[in-house]
A and B are shown apart, each in its own frame.
Chain A
């Protein structure tokens, strides 16, 4: 391509051309298909994207058009993003597990003209709501299976579009010139992508991000973590989530590393092991389920192996983190740790697919200190970051040797952070969003007058300059006595117990704190098996008296911890119940990113909340549930309410509202 097209690298298509010129033969993407890893170099990808973009232009795609991207992580969907951006159109990735109704809202709101989708499932969803989406013209699909007999007047295979573009590339120099001009005329101030928020509160909003901002933000973190074109990532996070668009898409284009697409979402762990990724991200729950699985499997190992495993985990617990942080450690301990590496940590990391990981991040939820330390002690460089879609991910990030479990790190390079009077965290960042698509009032609400963005989270800086997040700013409330009530803080403390999967705490304006608890079926089910407790269903296990006793123990332990913290001592949990069904995104109880929607749950389970406060020992509830195929059913149950052990506190209850 021409030199002036790559003069200023402020858009992703320009970066793609740069990578094609600088590292044409380095692998850009891999995809496991039919059991074999297929590879595309940067030159291959650039060519495919060029053909794809020409094909899309032939179908009428123009600068400023919106193109929906729906599906799991596959090369052709990443190319769809690149091709759309090359033309100057704006990709709008959509959560592929969204039900048709949610999808219709986003597609309609974003004024999508074309959609690039993975397979029949997504095509069916769009066709199902087509009458509400008059603007959609053509749906392009990757997997042809099951689509052969569909009416193809508004349906096209992505392969066919690329092939069409390949023809144009050879035969129509004028069209090729138009594409080159479209790429060259792309500016840093253009909207590069619209990412819809997961909708923790109400309808999701379209976050518009600028090309220049995205590239700048990604460049900062690529430098911070010293990522190069030798690195490998596995792309398994939802395409529509800022994490995937940043960590995989943006950083890959900036650093030139390889994006590996798994065969299917279920094989991601196995595929990651095969590839040997060097940079990884996973939300805390993924680390947690990996650990739970390992621990359960170790219980079934022979006594010698089990003994060795637990002995060396002890060694790791004592010295591992110190060795990782480069602190002084006695020689004997070092040697013993090295032996442990050979016998336990190495094989363990191999099983987890972590052998080659240089940098691992977690974010999104608070991570349990034990869990966090476990991975670090066996030598995984696990760090935390804090961010949000509006910032184009990073707000704070922990450096390699400045890691702690309860904080999320100091500000990322070039990010400014300020704590508002009410404790809310505000920031200014290079990747910060342009605004919400078609919602200027909401944009204004999210900004301060001097241009800072409101995170909506309450937090404060620790002495060492690390930011500590305690809760959503609007969720931090008070009990009737005036004592501070931070629901998420309590919930997270409880969720650190493997037996507890989800917690919803109540207490705003009430006399005391109460909560709903969801048990973790894997952990509690395993316990039941070991202790000869038989159960027929989730509901039966959840209501089992012995399970209640275990959970009561956990709640008492959390109360003990809370009693030691002067600010939280009065927010101890007085009463709780174990829910008869798992909270589920399909029922609207969780967001698509698995965050609890507290207000919605309080409404839906109204009788249970009442029972928590009126002193009754059990309550009846029947709720509608949505099955995976969209059908509805009703679950009824009688749920037991239990009093928790509370540690008496003597200090007065009234506390300042500010957490900092």
Chain B
């Protein structure tokens, strides 16, 4: 099956080695420091969680990773290459895909079309052919459709294939958004609160899809999540931010025992 070779970038970095490293990154908006001197790494094939209280700088961190924000200090090394400034579409073409805290789909388009959009960067045929949907463009489209159908099967959303996503309940929209990110065959998948606003059953489904993604496609996943139960079950390693600073980093068990983390979450009397 074609989906087994999901990522085209996979070959050179072995599982367990560093895929992405964040070194001493500081991000400022004017005088406000959103992230202060944060370093951590994401290893190939792991589920890495970024947690922290509201306003801790989690989403900013994700935005830095996929090139939407440019940090004033520090370096980001992805696949051994250090970069200073990068546009999001370049990050995308290098195999970094993401989903958003607020669902960012094309509401009037069907599930199928939304996921097909995720294949855009993989289209090779000249625009001219696509205008007429003929010849090489048609052949290519069939190839992509096949791939997208595998994702639809994977995420069990066959029944909403032709439904405009605006009509779907929130939990399913989140799933479609994950589908679109997967359509890019990402090497690194960034999920910004994939389970926010979901009920228990939807959360469990989403957990299963995230784990299956990791297992079947070997995708490395970095996620932000508020539900501690989910984070602790799902992730291999957790980094904890508070007020833009890293206060802990390690396995879920280590982080759970860390006094700073407990204080940050439960509050502490000064």
Contact = CB atoms under 8 A, between A and B. Distances in A.
Interface of A: 33-36, 145-146, 148-149, 263-264, 266-267, 270, 627-629
Contact of A146 (B145, B146, B150, B215): B215
Interface string B127-153: 000000000000000000110011011
B167 to A, nearest CB: 13
A465 B123 CA distance: 68
Q: Summarize B's interface: helix, strand, loop or mixed.
A: helix
Nearest to A36: B149
Given A33-B153, A145-B216, 9 more contacts: A35-B161, A36-B149, A145-B154, A145-B212, A146-B208, A149-B215, A263-B158, A628-B201, A629-B201
Contacts of B204: 629
Nearest to B160: A266
A146 B155 CA distance: 12
Nearest to B147: A34
B17 interface: no
Contacts of A628: 201
B212 A34 contact: no
A264 B150 CA distance: 14
B249 to A, nearest CB: 27
A34 B112 CA distance: 12
A264 B159 contact: yes
Given A145-B212, A145-B216, A149-B215, A34 B149 contact: yes
B200 interface: yes
Q: How large is the interface on B (under 10, 10 to 19, 20 to 34, 35 or more residues)?
A: 10 to 19
Contacts of A34: 146, 149-150, 152-153
A148 B216 contact: yes
A270 B212 CA distance: 28
Contacts of B150: 34
B156 interface: yes
A267 B158 contact: yes
Contact of A629 (B158, B161, B200): B200
A267 B159 contact: yes
Contacts of B152: 34-35
A146 B158 CA distance: 18
A564 B212 CA distance: 62
A35 B149 CA distance: 7
B112 to A, nearest CB: 8
B109 to A, nearest CB: 17
Given A34-B149, A35-B152, A629-B200, A148 B158 contact: no
B29 to A, nearest CB: 40
Contacts of B153: 33-34
A273 to B, nearest CB: 12
Nearest to A146: B212
A35 B110 CA distance: 14
Contacts of B159: 263-264, 266-267, 270
A267 B153 CA distance: 12
A33, A35, A146, A270: residue with the most chain B Cβ atoms closer than 10 Å: A35
A36 B161 CA distance: 12
Nearest to B112: A35
Nearest to A265: B159
Interface in B159-200: 159, 161, 200
B186 to A, nearest CB: 19
Contacts of A270: 159
Name the residue in B154, B158, B212 with the highest tally of chain A Cβ atoms < 10 Å from its Cβ. B158
A492 B200 CA distance: 35
A145 B201 CA distance: 20
27 contacts: A33-B153, A34-B149, A34-B150, A34-B152, A34-B153, A35-B145, A35-B149, A35-B152, A35-B161, A145-B154, A145-B216, A146-B208, A146-B215, A146-B216, A148-B215, A148-B216, A149-B215, A263-B158, A263-B159, A264-B156, A264-B159, A266-B158, A267-B159, A270-B159, A627-B200, A627-B201, A629-B201
A35 B144 CA distance: 13
A145 B200 CA distance: 23
Of A34, A36, A149, which is in contact with the most chain B CB atoms at under 10 Å from its CB? A34
